[in-house]
Every structure is written in structure tokens, then in C-alpha cells.
Structure 1
Amino acid sequence: MSAVLPYWRLSGFYFFYFSLLGATAPFLALYFDHLGFSPARIGELVAIPMLMRCVAPNLWGWLGDYSGQRLLIVRLGALCTLACFAGIFISHSYAWLALIMAAHAFFWHAVLPQFEVITLAHLREQAARYSQIRLWGSIGFIVAVVGLGELFDRLSLDAYPWALVLIMAGIVIASAWVPNAQPQFRPSSAGEGGFLRQLGRPGILAFYASVGLMQLSNGPYYTFLSLHLESLGYSRGLIGQLWALGVLAEIVLFMLMARILSRYSLRRVLLASFLITALRWLLLGNLADHLPVLLLAQVMHAATFGAFHAAAIHFVQRSFGDRQQGQGQALYAALAGVGGALGALYSGYSWSSLGPAWTFAIASLVALAAAAITFSRVPEERP
């Protein structure tokens, strides 16, 4: 273990990385709507970066495990993300924007899975402190959604690409500040085998299936929540604050996560997050015009993202050997991308034809399916 944990350097990277997510999740669809695209085209454009998670994390994860150059991949990925996205200033045609979404996402999705391995390598036996570092990503998300929400109430959404470029530059600088660390390889046990053999152990595939379903159910939320709330009369500034409330609840959850995982199994935490997610989508689809209900639904983000993500990261770390950690984290990101892309696509097509209530109802059923798989297929085991 390193003599001194580089807490602030690791936390600073998460801050900027998730600031970018805070700039895209609530506002990307609003920006495409500002450019005049239909809900179907918006769903397709939002789905493209998620589809890149099907390919990019596995490719970069294999390369990271094979070469051991995870920090180099993080730094080059951050730089290439910025360079590719800067092409958005050239044209706003659908085909060009689709290319920009694909190109920058190919490198963006190379970054986080490899950085998760680096973070856990720094932590070593202090892995329970992961949530204390990761919560700074949530703080970055809040700063982005609140700040940009207020900004776009005062300025045109034409400023949106410039805001993203500045945040991406922050990711590049933060990646250069982080010191390297490698997992401490242990001798493989006789029955451990390679990545595919570990993947075939009981409950592992079921876990990854539930990951894909969970992200599919998030499709309407990340693609259309801001447009949904704007149509109900909420201002962009308030919409940003509502997104921030969800992430504030997530931060509180991250601060308590080490204690929660010491009392409950990963399976139980995942199962609870899926069930709360199913209820949350029903509330957003049917009662979002009532502010108290909307506030409650946003507080539920603590479970639907915070508990789910922290438990999933620990599940992957526990389930794979040291030399397969990068591939395990990459597969988690890839299946999340598949689910998220399908969720964005289906919500884009159903939003116009079925409306928000039915679109979120489908998402609720998908979350219940993830809960059923976890309940029936993932064995009970304390982390």
C-alpha cells in the first residue's frame, strides 16, 4: 500500500469526470431540442455514446490488463475525448453530431473503468473508503447541474458546447495530476482460471444481466427527465437543482456505504436498489407535477444510483482476480452502456407515441425484472 493515500488527487479526478456527466445527463437532450431535433432523433443521439460503452470499455480494459499502462490509457483517453468533442463547433447536422457523439464517447468510456482499478489499487485493504473518494464525483455533478442550470436560465443553450469543453479540459488536467498505482497481484488460486472461467461462476452472469436491465430502466430518466419537467412548467434553474438534490442524497449514501456494506450483503443492497428504482420511475411518470412527490423521487436517487453503483463496484472487485480486474470493470461499463443505449432508444420512440407515464412504467417493469434475477440467481454472500 502507498505510504500516503493521494486522496485529493483521486477525488479531484472524480470531481471533473462526473461534472461532465452532470453537464450531459440533464442538458444534452435540452441542447438537441434547442437545435430543433425531434424526440426520436434526440433519443438516437443520446444513445450513441451509450452504445460506444458496448465496445470501448472492453477493448481498453483488455489493453489495460495486458499492458498494465492504465494511467496512460486514462490520460490519452481524456485528451482524445476533448479533441474529438471540439469538432462540435464545425457543424450541427444530424450526421456530424452522431459522429461527434460516437468519437468522443469511444475515448471517454476508456477512462473510468481503468481509473476505478487505479483507485482501488491505491486503496488496497482500505477498499471500504472507495465511497469517500467517489462522493467527490457526486459533488462535481451537483456543481455542474446547479451552475449550468442557472447559466442556461440567463444565457442561450448556444453556450452549452463551450461549457463541456471547459469541463473536459479539467479532466485532462486532473488525469495528469494523479499518481500511478498497480493492483498487487497475488498468485492465482488453482481453481481461479482466466476471465471467462471466472465469469462463469454462480451468480456472476446474473449480476451482469441485472446491470444491463438497471441501466435500460434509467433510459427515460437520463434522456427525457429535463424535457419532461420543463413541459410541466419547471424552470431550467429549478430542474438543475432537482438533479442536484438527487445527487446530494447520493453523497449522503456514499458517506454511509461502508457501514451499510458491513451490515448487509451486496445481494441485499442490489435488490433493494432495484425495488426502489421501480417505485421511483412510477412516481416520475405519473406524479412529477406534484413538487413534494418529485422531491421524494429525487431523494430516491441515493438508492437507484448510489447504492447500486457502490455495491456493483465492490461486487466486481470481489468476483475477479487481480489480473482480470480491468476486464471485469470494463464489462460492467459495457453492459451498462448496452442497457443505457437501449433505454434511450426505446424512450425516444415511446415518448411521442405512448407518453411519459407509459414510458416510465416500462422502465419500472424492467427494474422489477432486474430485482427478480438478483433474487433468484445471485447467491447470498457477505462482501
Structure 2
Amino acid sequence: MKQHDSGSRYSDQNWLRFFMFTFYGTSVLVVSYFPLFYSHLGFSSPQIGLLYSVGPLISILANLFWSMMSDRIGAVRKIIAILLGGQLVTAIILARMTDFSSVMIILPVFYFFYYPVYPLADTMAIKIAQRHGRNFIAIRVFGSLGYSFFALTVGYLLRALGPEYSVGICIVVVVSALLISIGLKDAARAEPVPAPEDEAAEGQPQIKQARSGGLKEILLQKEVLWFFGSVFLLAIGYRMNEAFLTLSLKGMNAGDEVIGWALLASALSEIPVFFALSKYGERFKELPLLAFASLMFALRFLFMALTQEPGMVVAIQAMHSVSFGVYFVTAVRYITRIIPDHLRATGMAIFTVVWSSGAGLLSGTFGGLIFQDAGRTVFYYVATGFSLLAFTGFFSKHLLDIGGGTGRPFRKKSAGRQ
């Protein structure tokens, strides 16, 4: 029996690792190489920008809809399979489109199936890791490895085949991920059980675990809103850099190979931090770590404002490790503490909406105006400012918790209602 349990344990984790490794290849294609496909079709830069602006908007609805569906039926794997099937069908249609209006119609449908897979895969990784007594990052890091692998290989493939094959390669990756998803298994669904006050982690409030109203229940908690507010401020600066990094390098007369190395530097640098925090992260409280990551983001963007050399940008991108690497691991850990298991997919969807969708919409429009009218230096000073505001949010919450502020009354109030 023990041998069977051990085999199931490693099978569950390995299938999910294979899936993470493969599916993150679509991120490389959608974010970095689909623009080459649009350019090959003869679309202008404003048209390409418009195509990308619908992504964050669609993802707000898609992430919440599919994650709440997952929480309702308690089956993440089935939802992931449906989403991959939808991606496959829409990608096949997209590959046959040649005019802007047709692409503008089908691409939002592709995004509707594309974006929710990430928070749902993270949700499954969290549950599988908890089920087997492992750290979530030991599974999630394979997504970073897959991104790094595809960032290198896809570039060489498209150099040989041409940009018109970008969507075709994406189809192959999606089919591979769909086949791998057959081996995925959902962790047993936990019933919502009220947590006694004395079992709550010090300084870590627990959401009152009601039986219904998942989204409303999460958003009514001031501790959760404080956290997501700080995440949103940090995300604005991060998305500003992500959206305009290529333009910044082009403004420095950097070649395409330098841009590729800059992207690879950030992807690879986060991997050792993921491993380190998966082993030693529990020794540190989440809020101070999040405040530290915010400071590292501020320092990273300050260096971007001051540098004029493309080679220095590659080195600065390696700070992705102590900024995003520390932030992501710690933020997911914090969410697992304050949001109960039966609302986990919805909580991760809100986290994705705040970090990616909402901030992406604002940083794209607001950041674009600053970049165009004030220049790159002022642009990165503004990004630095948002990171410092996020630091203030995370650190002040930590001080309130250790000083007997909002954390203790919240737990007592919840306990009293149960």
C-alpha cells in the first residue's frame, strides 16, 4: 500500500511538472513571437498594440469565470482540459486568418481560453504540493525552466522557418500540453472547516470560511484588500517595464540578440531563487519578504532609469531574481494562508487579475503616455515610485500586525461569528 501511495505521489507531481514545463512554452509564443506573426501579415504597430490591449481586458472576465467554475465543481483538471481544447480550436482558426478584422474577432476568444490556465495550474500545484507535503515552488519552477527552454528553441525554429509559423508552433505546444493533461489528477477537495483562533498563524488572518459567496467573501476582507492593493501598486511598475523593455533597448540601439539575452536573463535568474525559497522560505514572514521584493523592484527600475548601455540592461534584468522571484513565491505562500482551500482557485484568479490584467490595462495606457511624452528616464522613475508605494503598503501592514493592529481584531471578529 505504501509503495502504491509513493508511486501515486511522484506520478501526480511529475505529470504536473511536465505540464508546467510544456504549457509555459505558449507564453513565450503569445508574448514574444505572435507580434512577428502579425507583422508578417502586414499589420501596423498601432494595430498590433490594439490586439494586445484586448488581452488584459478579456483575462479579467475569463480568469474569474473559469476559476469560480473550478471552485464550484471542484475539478481543476477538467477545466484545464476544456481551456486547452478551446485554445487549440481558436489557434487553428487564428492560423488561417490574414486580415486585421478577422484576427481582432478570433484573438479575444483565444485569450478567453488562454489566460485562465495559469492560475488554475498554480492552484493545482498548490493542492498537489500540500497533499504530498511538498513546497509549491518545487513544481512551479518547471514553468520557468520550460519558458527558458522555449525562449531559446522557438527563436531558432522561427529563424529557420519564418514568422508565419509562430501560430503553428503554438498549436503543437498546446496539443502537447493537452495530451499531458490526461495524466493530471485533482487533489482531494477539502471541505470548508472553520479554523479555531489559536490555530491561526501569528500575524496571518484567516478568512471566515463560509459555504457560499466565494468572490464576495474574499473581497469583503480588509486584510485581503490591503494585500491586493499593495500587489496592484507593485504590478503597475512591473508591467510598465515588461511592456516597454523592448522599446527601451531599441532606443539604445540594441540588436535583437541583446533583447533575447535580456529576456533570458530574467527567466533564468528566478529559478535558483525559487529553489532557495522553496527550501528556506518558511523561516521568514511573508510581509517583510514582500516589502524587500518591492525595494528590489524599486532599485531595479532606478538602475533602468540611469543606465544608457544595452549590456547593463541585461545585467539589471538579472535582478528579476531578487525582485519577482522573491515576490511571486512569497505572495503565493501568503495567499495560501489567508484564503481557505475551497476558495483557492477564485483567490488565485483575483491575484492574477490584479497582478496581470488590471495593472496591464493601466500601465499600458498610462505608461505609454509617459514613455512617449516624458521619455524613458522619467518613465522608469515613475515605475520606481510605484514600487516604493508597494513597499510602504506591505511593510506598514507588517508593522500593524506585530503591533496588534488589524490582524488580531479580524481573527477575533471572525471567530465570534462562527
State the TM-score, normalizing by the size of structure 2: 0.82
Please name the residue that 2:101 is paired with: 95
Partner AA of 1:258 in structure 2: S
Q: Secondary structure at the match of 1:27?
A: helix
Distance 1:339 1:236 in 2: 27
Greater RCO, CA 8 A, separation 6+? 1
1:319 paired with 2:338, answer yes
Q: Secondary structure at the match of 2:136?
A: helix
On the 8 A contact 2:266/2:320 being kept in 1, the answer is yes
1:192 paired with 2:208, answer yes
The structure-2 alpha-carbon separation of the partners of 1:171 and 1:78, relative to structure 1 and needing over 3 Å to count, comes to same
Instruction: Note the aligned Cα RMSD (angstroms).
Output: 2.8
User: Post-superposition shift, 1:138?
Assistant: 0.5
Please name the residue that 2:111 is paired with: 105
Please name the residue that 1:358 is paired with: 378
Distance 2:173 2:251 in 1: 28
Alignment partner for residue 86 of structure 1, among 81, 92, 102? Answer: 92
Please name the residue that 1:148 is paired with: 154
Distance 2:302 2:98 in 1: 35
Please name the residue that 2:278 is paired with: 258
Matches within 5 A, 1:169-248: 169-185=175-191, 187-189=193-195, 192-194=208-210, 195=214, 196-248=216-268
The structure-2 alpha-carbon separation of the partners of 1:43 and 1:371, relative to structure 1 and needing over 3 Å to count, comes to farther
Q: CA offsets, 1:156-201, max 9 Å, x none?
A: 4333222222222222222222123233335234782434445444
Structure 1: runs of 5 or more not aligned: none
Structure with higher Rg: it is 2
Alignment partner for residue 64 of structure 1, among 61, 70, 73? Answer: 70
Please name the residue that 2:201 is paired with: none
On the 8 A contact 1:46/1:344 being kept in 2, the answer is no
Partner AA of 1:309 in structure 2: F
The structure-2 alpha-carbon separation of the partners of 1:373 and 1:344, relative to structure 1 and needing over 3 Å to count, comes to same
On the 8 A contact 1:219/1:343 being kept in 2, the answer is yes
Q: CA offsets, 1:327-364, max 9 Å, x none?
A: 11111112221112322333444444333333333322
Distance 1:349 1:27 in 2: 25
Alignment partner for residue 374 of structure 1, among 387, 394, 415? Answer: 394
On the 8 A contact 1:253/1:306 being kept in 2, the answer is yes
The structure-2 alpha-carbon separation of the partners of 1:27 and 1:84, relative to structure 1 and needing over 3 Å to count, comes to same
On the 8 A contact 1:40/1:348 being kept in 2, the answer is no
On the 8 A contact 2:22/2:173 being kept in 1, the answer is yes
Q: CA offsets, 1:101-127, max 9 Å, x none?
A: 311111122222222222222222656
Distance 2:35 2:375 in 1: 16
Structure 2: runs of 5 or more not aligned: 197-206, 408-418
Q: Secondary structure at the match of 2:135?
A: helix
Distance 1:135 1:185 in 2: 28
On the 8 A contact 1:10/1:119 being kept in 2, the answer is yes
Partner AA of 2:24 in structure 1: F
Alignment partner for residue 318 of structure 2, among 294, 299, 321? Answer: 299
On the 8 A contact 2:192/2:209 being kept in 1, the answer is no
Greater shift after overlay, 226-235 or 127-136? 226-235
Distance 2:101 2:189 in 1: 41
The structure-2 alpha-carbon separation of the partners of 1:309 and 1:152, relative to structure 1 and needing over 3 Å to count, comes to same
